[in-house]
Structure formats: structure tokens, C-alpha cells
């Protein structure tokens, strides 16, 4: 999301994203160290819809927050940031890692059913539609 780069530069942004991507957007925001980045959501899909339907989405409510979309956009661009939204940095893991990084050989002791890394890649590539 390019909006996080804008925000880091001091430029407010109001990304508008399809609601089916809400979890992905939240995950990305955490990954780049902006876990409370403001995002506005619309029902998905929006492409190939009549203009009246799209206008209805903009004039309607955000399907995630249930607040008016236009209000969300205006707030994203002009509203003061909360203390949470000012936070920038990577969050601590709430759950410890299952395994620490290790060698392929040692990891196979935990996951013997997987086979070698190369055989896993070959299986994935064989199943791909390239």
C-alpha cells in the first residue's frame, strides 16, 4: 500500500479498498509498522458496476465500520490522529513463534511428512497453472 509511504512523509491519505481485502490490509499495516493506519472500505467488487451502484457505495456506509464512507474519507484526510494512530513501529508478537529459524535438516525432524525443500517446490510448480 503506497499510502503508508505517503503517511510516513507527512502526507495524509485515505485509501479506499474492497471489503474482502480488510484482513490483508490490516496484516500489511502491521507488517510495515503502522497497525492503526486509517483505511476506508467499500463493498467488493466495484469494477464493471453501473455508476449509480458505485455512487451508492460512496454515499453509503463503510461495510467494516458501518460509518458513512464520505465521512471516513474526510476524517482520514483531515482528522487529528489518535495516540494509537501516531504509533509507528513493529509490534511485539503476541504469540511466541512455534519454531525459531533453523536448518532444513532440523526442521524436517518436526515436519517429516513434507519431504525435501526441492520436492516441495516441485510439487507446487507442478500444481501451478503457469
pLDDT (tens digit per residue) in 67-123: 999 999 999 999 998 888 887 776 666 666 676 778 877 777 777 666 666 777 777
Q: How far apart are CA 15 and CA 124, in angstroms?
A: 34
pLDDT at 128 over 60: no
Helices (H) then strands (E): counts for the chain: 7, 2
17-21, 36-40, 111-115 — which is least confidently predicted? 111-115
Q: What is the dihedral of CA 103, 105, 109, 113, to 10 degrees?
A: 110
Phi, psi of 19 (to 5 degrees): -60, -25
Q: What is the pLDDT of residue 4?
A: 80
Return mean pLDDT, the chain.
83
Asked if residues 75 and 38 have their Cβ atoms less than 8 Å apart, the reply is: yes
Amino acid at each position: 500500500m503506497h499510502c503508508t509511504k505517503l503517511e510516513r512523509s507527512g502526507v495524509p491519505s485515505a485509501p479506499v479498498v474492497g471489503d474482502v481485502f480488510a484482513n490483508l490490509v490490516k496484516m500489511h499495516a502491521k507488517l510495515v509498522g503502522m497497525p492503526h493506519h486509517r483505511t476506508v472500505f467499500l463493498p467488493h467488487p466495484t469494477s464493471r458496476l453501473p455508476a449509480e451502484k458505485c455512487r451508492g457505495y460512496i454515499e453509503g456506509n463503510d461495510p467494516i465500520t458501518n460509518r458513512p464512507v464520505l465521512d471516513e474519507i474526510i476524517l482520514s484526510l483531515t482528522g487529528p490522529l489518535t495516540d494509537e494512530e501516531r504509533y509507528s513501529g513493529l509490534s511485539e508478537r503476541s504469540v511466541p513463534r512455534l519454531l525459531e529459524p533453523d536448518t532444513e535438516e532440523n526442521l524436517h525432524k518436526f515436519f517429516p511428512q513434507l519431504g525435501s525443500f526441492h520436492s516441495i517446490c516441485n510439487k507446487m510448480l507442478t500444481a501451478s497453472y503457469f
